[in-house]
Chains A and B, each alone.
Chain A
Amino acid sequence: DAGITQSPRHKVTETGTPVTLRCHQTENHRYMYWYRQDPGHGLRLIHYSYGVKDTDKGEVSDGYSVSRSKTEDFLLTLESATSSQTSVYFCAISGGASGAYEQYFGPGTRLTVT
């Protein structure tokens, strides 16, 4: 399995509070991604990174920001959490020997906003 960890694995927070989720990789892959998974929607891309300090928006980026100051870490921040951001968040990486197009996923973070 690809060396991807996500922290925390579970979090409950209140509406209006800031939340930061962390993705850490030990594979030295160039590309990193944040998705959210919701019933009936599959996975949807929030933000992605194509290198240190290089990020771009995905399909559902409103209300989220990201940062990547090191190759191995990709942070997702909910500036002011809302109930609609209750979801399971997955980090993914690509860009190793198998190429840029094969993505490998972390175990996920279940976030509940009350």
Chain B
Amino acid sequence: AQSVTQPDIHITVSEGASLELRCNYSYGATPYLFWYVQSPGQGLQLLLKYFSGDTLVQGIKGFEAEFKRSQSSFNLRKPSVHWSDAAEYFCAVAPWGTGGGNKLTFGTGTQLKVEL
């Protein structure tokens, strides 16, 4: 079974600083990978996804993520953080080729705080 590890429970950055949130997965093949963001009291919003092809993927709100097969990682990055980026971020994995519908496995989340 697949698993996802987000090693940082909390991260604090200053507004305007760069951001990297770590995500490592365990799976026997290349999975489908996702990053979601959750603002307080809200549902989850899809930031970006990786299915295949270019290992650097762009998402919404200026976020990007890089898939590194050798490290089983899919880290989320943003060059300059805005105060509105404060939220909880979840990495998720779905097994490849399950033929439709997927059972996402989520990491435990990273809470991002932005200092003004």
Residues of A near B90 (CB, < 8 A) are: 42-43
Chain A CB within 8 A of B94 CB: yes
The segment from A12-20, A63-71, A101-109 found at the interface with B is A101-109
A-side interface residues, number (CB < 8 Å): 27
Interface residues on B, range: 20 to 34
Chain A CB within 8 A of B42 CB: yes
A106 CA / B46 CA spacing, docked (Å): 12
Q: Nearest Cβ distance between residue A105 and chain B, in whole angstroms?
A: 4
Are B101 and A31 in contact, CB atoms less than 8 angstroms apart?
yes
User: With A105-B43, A107-B42 as given contacts, are A100 and B100 in contact (CB-CB < 8 Å)?
Assistant: yes
A94 CA / B104 CA spacing, docked (Å): 11
Are A30 and B101 in contact, CB atoms less than 8 angstroms apart?
yes
Residues of A near B109 (CB, < 8 A) are: 42
Chain B CB within 8 A of A48 CB: yes
A102 CA / B36 CA spacing, docked (Å): 11
Residues of B near A103 (CB, < 8 A) are: 46, 102, 104
A104 CA / B44 CA spacing, docked (Å): 8
Are B106 and A42 in contact, CB atoms less than 8 angstroms apart?
yes
A15 CA / B115 CA spacing, docked (Å): 42
A48 CA / B44 CA spacing, docked (Å): 17
Chain A CB within 8 A of B83 CB: no
